[in-house]
Structure 1
Amino acid sequence: YAGYFSGNVNITGTLSKAGGSFMIDHPLDPANKYLYHSFVESPDMMNIYNGNVTTDGDGFATVELPDYFGALNKDFRYQLTVIGDFAQAIVAEEISGNQFTIRTDKPSVKVSWQVTGIRKDAYAEANRIQVEVEKPAREKGLYLHPEAFMLGPEMQIHYQQNLEARKVAGQATGDSHE
């Protein structure tokens, strides 16, 4: 590990990484296994909300979203999936007042829904990520993860800095090997 934290970490700027996951004790075998899941990521600052709802006797259901939803999000996308029946489902009324309405062509239909929105809070609006960026001249021809391209560690962007840091750390601890 380049760093290990036990407890909460608060970053007030951005975090850039090659990958990400959560790691927990496996719920079916916590004494012997770990369970990993990867983050869901996109080129947008996207939030995801989802749930299940059952339409009423007339085929309508209103989905209530958190009270902060409209203040935090814009550019909504909807996905609906009918569960357990052959039925049609539509978004009958788009999001307004932190709620939207689903309609099915039959009564009492269970519908799984997902809504995504792009963050529109002040920080997000002022700090959109650049999705594609040219490497600085000193990093061109070098890689963040050279092993993924079948290249040696000397092709890593920070190889020389890391080598020097390991040497200094070895001198400080009396460890003479790298």
Structure 2
Amino acid sequence: MADNGPGAKGIWGKAEKGYAGWFSGRVYVTGWLYKAGGGFQIGHPLDPENRYLRHSYVESDQQLNVYSGTVVTGSDGTAVVELPDYFEELNHDFRYQLTVIGPEFAQAIVSQEVSDNRFTVKTDRPEVKVSWQVSGVRQDRYARANPFSTEEEKPEDERGKYLHPQAWDQPEENGIDYEQWAALRDYNEHPTPVPPDLPDKK
């Protein structure tokens, strides 16, 4: 547990090679999770014994939820898209994208926006297949209580330092975590009864 400031760390790890942490199973985080990059890695579907397949995340400057699917309009050129029953409770500020699928040209519009967790698509011809995507900004209680900030000033003890010094052609000594890493490395090379930065609790 760490509760002595915004830069405090309950668990801290670093690895020059390999992984600073390895979790085999589900990992649950009740607060914000920050990262410089990420994605999934699985066994390659075409060659799982010899290759990996990686995809990166889709990022946004807002807390967006994305929903998508396809629908076919009826003889009157309309179709109602049903969304989850929690959609409007969870989201607001809706955005729509429609793409007509088929060999012939057709136009599609959102004729009625989201209401009662559904919206209506209208095409200028009957029986047209339409791919749709709707996104909304989170408005649940946690999101409202913890608004997302895209830009913020560094705390005083991190100013003048870098998260990734090598990316900015800076020496590792200019890294935010360099002092902590150096203390841990020194402790591993010259172990003492007291871990670095921790009082002796005998």
Mark yes or no: TM-score above 0.5.
yes
Greater relative contact order, per chain length (Cα 8 Å cut-off, separation 6+): 1
Match of 2:170 in 1: 151
User: In the aligned structure 2, how far is the partner of 1:56 from the partner of 1:146?
Assistant: 58
SS for the counterpart of 1:125 is: helix
User: In the aligned structure 1, how far is the partner of 2:57 from the partner of 2:133?
Assistant: 17
User: In the aligned structure 1, how far is the partner of 2:189 from the partner of 2:125?
Assistant: 72
Question: Which 5+ residue runs of structure 2 have no aligned equivalent?
Answer: 1-18, 193-202
Quick check: 49-58 or 148-157, which moved more?
Answer: 148-157
Question: What do you get for the CA RMSD once the two structures are aligned?
Answer: 1.4
Match of 2:22 in 1: 4
| Number of residue equivalences | 173
Deviation at 1:43, TM superposition (A): 1.5
Q: After superposition, where does 1:10-159 map in structure 2 within 5 Å?
A: 10-84=28-102, 85-159=104-178
Match of 1:176 in 2: none
Aligned structure 1 segments of 4 or more residues deviating by more than 2 angstroms:
169-173
User: In the aligned structure 1, how far is the partner of 2:66 from the partner of 2:190?
Assistant: 49
Q: Give the counterpart of 2:183 among 161, 164, 173.
A: 164
How many percent identity over aligned positions? 58
Tell me which amino acid in the other structure corresponds to 1:138: D
Normalising by structure 1, report the TM-score.
0.92
User: In the aligned structure 2, how far is the partner of 1:138 from the partner of 1:129?
Assistant: 23
Deviation at 1:138, TM superposition (A): 2.0
User: In the aligned structure 2, how far is the partner of 1:34 from the partner of 1:99?
Assistant: 39
